[in-house]
Amino acid sequence: MNWNKITSDAQLDEIKEESAKQPVLIFKHSTTCSISAMALSRMERNWSDQLGVKPYYLDLLANRPISKQIEQVFGVEHESPQVLLIRNGECVYDASHMAISFTGLQQAV
């Protein structure tokens, strides 16, 4: 799985633009949380590029202010870990903690 790292809030505009061409996944990950590590591992083990979703990864500890921007831009309250599926500039699906699954993402696409 090839993650695209989010390291600046300017990338959120790019993500919105990209999501008009293909769905975009944002995975908000806390590198010190075991639940987050498990959710990330499950997503990576089951990932298929055939889904046609571009995956982005946000390290919450290194980029906490960007998470707040994601909350404001996409209107989804922050949780960790959390996935957001962006299509046409809007969040059309989100899940957090143990509800994060590749199957759930597949159904939302």
Q: Do residues 85 and 93 lie in contact, with contact meaning Cβ atoms separated by under 8 Å?
A: yes
Q: Does domain 4-108 have CATH number 3.40.30.10?
A: yes
Give the per-residue pLDDT at 1. 82
Q: What is the C-alpha R_g of the chain?
A: 12
Beta bridge partner(s), residue 84: 26, 94
**Residue 66 tokens, joined:** 């960007």
* Cα–Cα dist 60/30, whole Å: 5
pLDDT digits (tens, 9 = 90+) for 34-93: 999 999 999 999 999 999 999 999 999 999 999 999 999 999 999 999 999 999 999 999
Return the H-helix or E-strand segment holding 59: strand 54-59
Tokens of 56: 């982005």
CB distance 105 to 83 below 8 Å: yes
Query: What single letter denotes the amino acid at residue 109?
Result: V
Pairing type for strands 82-87 and 54-59 reads unpaired
| Domain spans in the chain, listed from the N-terminal domain onward | 4-108
Predicted TM-score of the model (pTM): 0.95
Over range 100-105, report the average pLDDT: 93
Q: Which tokens belong to 90?
A: 């809007």
